[in-house]
Amino acid sequence: MNLGELVRVALMSVKGSKMRSLLTTLGIMIGIAAVISVVAIGQGGRAALNTEMEKFGTNVFVVYLDGEVRLGDMKMVDLQVIKAAVPEVKNLAPVRDLNAKVRGPRGEIDMNIEGTTYEMAAIRNIELRTGRFLNEEDQASSRRVIVLDEDSARSLFGNANPVGEQVSMAGNTAMVVGVTRKNQSQFGDNAKTGYIPISFTSGIEGDEIFFMMWGGATQKDKVDEAMNGTIKVLERRHQAPKHYKGESMEGQMRQINEVTSIISLIISSIAGISLLVGGIGVMNIMLVSVTERTREIGIRMALGARRRDILVQFLVEAIVLCLMGGILGTMIGYGGAFLVAHYAKWPPLVSWGTIGLAFGFATAIGLVFGVYPANRAARLDPIEALRRD
Amino acid sequence: MIRLENLCKQYITGTIQVAALQGVSFQVVEGEFVAIMGASGSGKSTLMNLLGLLDSPDQGSYCLDGIQTADLGESERARVRNEKIGFVFQAFNLLPRLTALENVELPMVYAGVRAVERHKRAWDALERLGLEERARHRPNELSGGQNQRVAIARALVNKPALLLADEPTGALDTRTSEEIIEVFQELNNQGATIVLVTHEPEIAGCTRRILRISDGCLVADEPVPNPRKASSSQPELERQAVNQ
């Protein structure tokens, strides 16, 4: 019998007991659906994460003070030294976070004000809607200027162009020089964030102090070197080992990936158990089928079927049963993945590799769990088999 | 065609050894129509299984159409069954899920005949037995006589050297039995070699030679001088009923 013939016979037998076949394949279906959705959601999630990170800047790292904070643990002059000493560091900017009430002609809002330098624009991929970002002159002359985000600018000025206008905050006034474009990234949300020169903050809150710096590495894979180099220089200059800590986007990504792969592993093992149980179910029903069709086996043998023909027939039937579970499971799995991707706004990733994997799995299960019943069928004595009802 | 020499077969049921055949020898030449008769337990079923290569003897030799069957392995025996032997059983033994046509095609499936030719030959065989109208029906939609004729078509379709019929009329009423025997006589007239097992003297009387088996031994081998010609009482009426 050729393969087409075998598959036809197998399909006929599956069709002969529809409900039973469907219930039998349920385990395989659930297992395959779980595998497919886990892989698809995992790949989609990772891709989504990557694009988010890229929007924000994948080369980004942060160095901050750990433990007891003393004044002067980070100084503006450190930035120059670090940039000169660590070639992997491309940009380095101090960050001093302030919360302030900011008042404009249209109202007053609470804003997060970052005292920083012009280099921050390059580090965080900040784009401007109008005007300009901070520049070197602002820093050098401690100019009283501010760059607002889109939302805040609208709250403070309505639809009027705010560039050149004044806002007041914490008893000072500052001139708006630019408005940043809204950042779509879920990580780099810059809503209600204003940037002022860090030299200006000393006018608001005393000394030019900061406890955190943001950096950009020359390349994505140089982030760790850039960050560690920065920490090392700071430790040496301030004689303070283990006083500085760093985090990078890459590191965060690694952590997230680690977590997601653990979750994937857990779901995959559940899927594995389901496939195992499903396989045992298939084996069970195939054994029942062999018993029910003992006479058929006897007839086929009398008509000239070799033991191998009978073995292959039942093996193909087990595989067909599993593949049907695989097909249904793939559809359900992708349905689930699309649903999750839709709500999480991820790209749904449909890869042929995953489908191949699922079908490979289903075939393998059919083979493994079909061998025993098929072998039992093939080893029947034709005389005994023909006598059976 | 068939040569048996000193064929022996024992079965072990529990601790008791049952000698089913104790040295049976005979020959059947091409074109013969032989009945094997015997009471139940006489060993005729065992003999049938050995002739059909479904079982192998403990001793003795069996030569079928020039093939020494003792030398054959498991799959070669399957091939010889497929090519040389056509089985007709008491219980028809058709596959219930297949149509008459598909049932007749089955031996050719294992012979590796291609689908188109298989289809044609199965169709021809059914036509030969007057069943072309019922080709698309399943066994449960056919009468006993029709089912047995489908089974005969299946047995003939690979052009076997030997037709082995095991109580082919055992499940049929008298009139249908006559009809089936008529088919066998017709086939024999066309040259088919037939070995038929039966315990009914009227059926055996339609063959040309009777072998009697008792307690595992061949006790008589006699020709039938004037074989009775089987005739179903109203064959024409039955045909018409089928076709309607």
Q: What is the mean pLDDT of each run of 10 residues along chain B (244 residues)?
A: 92 81 94 93 90 93 93 92 95 93 94 93 94 94 95 95 94 92 94 93 94 93 90 55 52
In A, minimum Cα distance to B56 occurs at A383
- pTM check: above 0.80: no
Q: Chain B 54-83, CB below 8 Å of chain A: which residues?
A: 54-55, 74-75, 78-79, 81-83
What is the mean pLDDT of the segment spanning A277-294?
Answer: 93
Looking at beta carbons, which residues of chain B come within 8 Å of A295? 93
How far is C-alpha A327 from the geometric centre of its chain's CA atoms? 26
Confidence label for A208 from pLDDT (cuts 50, 70 and 90): low
Looking at beta carbons, which residues of chain A come within 8 Å of B83? 304
DSSP designation for A135 = -
Task: Identify which has the larger pLDDT, A42 or B193.
Answer: B193
In percent, the amount of chain A with pLDDT more than 70 equals: 95
Q: What is the pLDDT of residue A326?
A: 92
Q: Is the CB of A307 inside 8 Å of chain B's CB atoms?
A: yes
Taking one residue from A and the other from B, the number of pairs with CB-CB distance under 8 angstroms is 58
Task: Identify which has the larger pLDDT, A87 or A253.
Answer: A87
From B82's Cα to the closest Cα of chain A, the distance in A is 4
Q: What is the pLDDT of residues A55-68, one digit of tens each?
A: 777 788 999 998 88
Nearest one of A133, A262, A269, A250 to A190, comparing CA atoms: A133
Q: What is the pLDDT of residue B237?
A: 47
Q: Is the CB of A335 inside 8 Å of chain B's CB atoms?
A: no
Nearest one of A182, A278, A212, A277 to A66, comparing CA atoms: A212
Task: Give the DSSP H or E segment for A310.
Answer: helix A307-344
Confidence label for A6 from pLDDT (cuts 50, 70 and 90): confident
Task: Identify which has the larger pLDDT, B160 or A35.
Answer: B160
Lowest-confidence segment of A167-171, A172-176, A364-368 by average pLDDT: A167-171
Nearest one of B117, B204, B194 to B155, comparing CA atoms: B194
Q: What is the pLDDT of residue A203?
A: 57
Measure the CA–CA gap between B201 and B194, rounded to whole angstroms: 17
What is the mean pLDDT of the segment spanning A362-389?
Answer: 93
Confidence label for A204 from pLDDT (cuts 50, 70 and 90): low
- On the question of pLDDT at A205 being above 60, the answer is no
Q: What is the pLDDT of residues A339-368, one digit of tens each?
A: 888 887 777 676 788 888 888 989 999 999
Task: Identify which has the larger pLDDT, A70 or B181.
Answer: B181
- On the question of pLDDT at A185 being above 90, the answer is no
Nearest one of B95, B97, B103, B149 to B127, comparing CA atoms: B149
Q: Facing residues of A217 across strands?
A: A89
In B, minimum Cα distance to A309 occurs at B110
List C-alpha distances in Å: B110 to A38, A291, B21, B80.
44, 22, 31, 11
DSSP designation for B11 = E
Put simply, the answer to whether B79 touches A300 (Cβ < 8 Å) is no
Confidence label for A190 from pLDDT (cuts 50, 70 and 90): low
Amino acid, res. A44 = G
